[in-house]
Amino acid sequence: MKTDRTREDLYDIASKLQGVDRFTEPCELPEGYRHIVKEVFEYDDLIIKKTNHSKNRSRDLYLFENERYWLEKLKPYNFAPTLMESFYIGRDLYLIMNKLPGHPLKSVYDGNSNWNTADFRKKLKTCFKEFLDVFKKLNLTHKDLRPHNIMVNQDMSILGVIDYQFCSRVGEKIKVNGFRQRRHYRLARQSVGGKWRKPGLTRFNFETDEYMLDFIIKQLSSLAKTD
């Protein structure tokens, strides 16, 4: 990770994404930028996440503010991205963080399926436990531990976790402001976690995250070729 970038450098990197969103054609992106998903972009060793006020009138702003808060709190832990800076440019909030090393765990379901060995799953399970132990100590729940939000490498010397938009202390709600955000949150919390979400879930707690990670191990075991 480059450490010699100034605040002005990071502002300039973010500002090039003004007017750019998920609908921007790849050929129209600023040079060196790559679209990942929604309003998330990659530039060099950085990830830039931005709101899209012109399209949704900031109804999801609370999620970006929540992620900014938790990235600051989780700086001592190397499983989380390091928040480099955050800026308001116009009416949009930009979060700039380092790109974690490794590959999304989702890749082990397809392109990197040869990684899916008994030894890999054993190490993965150990890393999951270590992550959950930290979250329990901090009284946190992530809520969205899907394979594409988990970064790994083949020998499991890396475990990274991204996307802290729904993170909160157990028993606490995410702070939202106004009717538009409350409505967005009511709908979003019903689907966060996707098919890895515990069936019938009504309250988020430590078991929310434990279920997701255990489900991933079971999925990988069922997909594994003969070990």
Give per-residue pLDDT as tens, 59-86.
Answer: 999 999 999 999 999 999 999 999 999 9
pLDDT surpassing 70 at residue 227: no
The CA-CA-CA angle for residues 42, 44, 50, to 5°, reads 30
pLDDT at 33: 98
Residue in the block written with tokens 């490794």: 102
The conformation of residue 222, written as its DSSP 8-state character, comes to H
Bridge partner residues of 97 (DSSP): 47, 83
Write out pLDDT tens, residues 98-118: 999 999 999 999 989 999 999
The token duo for 12 is 């300039």
User: Where do the domains of the chain lie, and which CATH numbers do they carry?
Assistant: 7-98 (3.30.200), 103-223 (1.10.510.10)
Q: Residue 73 class from Cβ within 10 Å (0-12 exposed, 13-18 middle, 19+ buried)?
A: middle
pLDDT surpassing 80 at residue 2: no
Closest among 22, 64, 39 to 164, alpha carbons compared: 64
